[in-house]
């Protein structure tokens, strides 16, 4: 039983997941710091206040803290923008630069009958069984 447990723990996907969670938590702290210490003051420079938590209204003795919602919304948008522009876009460009496989459009063509993507060398469509000359299907 201990041998099975050790095998389970040392399987690649469990270790990869653990590393991903730890790195994700550390990266989350970095992004939160970026938003809190750099992006929020920029928003405050334009709007005048970095904290909207004091904004409220009351209806029938019920207090609505819409300022907290605005704070959360700004934080979410700032974090999403920071992750997109500082992580996703650069990584996508880096991956595109080092990509070695050919473009999918070079390996496939559209079937003239059903418009499904089929291999360029196909003689018959796998979806509708229409005859297709290799490399001659319409795009």
pTM value is 0.50
Q: Secondary structure of the chain in the HEC alphabet? A: CHHHHHHHHHCHHHHHHHHHHHHHHHHHHHHHHHHHHHHHHHHHHHHCCCCCCCCCEEECCEEECHHHHHHHHHHHHHHHHHHHHHHHHHHHHHHHHCCCCCCHHHHEEECCCCCCEEECCCCECCCCCCECCCCCCCC
Average pLDDT over residues 68-79: 82
pLDDT digits (tens, 9 = 90+) for 1-34: 888 887 777 776 777 788 788 888 898 888 778 7
Task: Tell which CATH classification among 2.40.50.140, 2.10.25.10, 1.10.1200.120, 1.10.630.10 matches the domain 2-97.
Answer: 1.10.1200.120
* Predicted pLDDT of residue 139: 45
Rounded CA-CA distance 120/127 in Å is 14
Rounded CA-CA distance 14/119 in Å is 36
Average pLDDT over residues 104-119: 82
Please report, for the chain, the start and end positions of each structural domain, with discontinuous segments joined by +: 2-97, 104-139
* Predicted pLDDT of residue 64: 92
Rounded CA-CA distance 56/68 in Å is 9
Instruction: Examine the pLDDT at 133 and tell me if it is beyond 60.
Output: yes
Average pLDDT over residues 41-46: 80
């Amino acid at each position: 039983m201990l041998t099975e447990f050790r095998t389970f723990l040392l399987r690649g996907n469990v270790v990869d997941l653990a590393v991903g969670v730890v790195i994700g938590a550390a990266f989350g702290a970095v992004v939160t710091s970026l938003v809190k210490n750099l992006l929020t003051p920029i928003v405050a420079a334009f709007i005048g206040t970095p904290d909207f938590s004091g904004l409220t209204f009351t209806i029938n003795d019920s207090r609505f803290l819409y300022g907290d919602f605005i704070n959360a919304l700004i934080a979410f948008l700032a974090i999403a923008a920071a992750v997109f522009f500082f992580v996703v876009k650069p990584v996508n460009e880096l991956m595109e630069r080092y990509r070695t496989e050919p473009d999918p459009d070079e390996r496939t063509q559209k079937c003239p009958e059903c418009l499904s993507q089929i291999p360029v060398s196909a003689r018959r469509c796998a979806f509708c069984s229409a005859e297709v000359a290799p490399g001659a299907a319409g795009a």
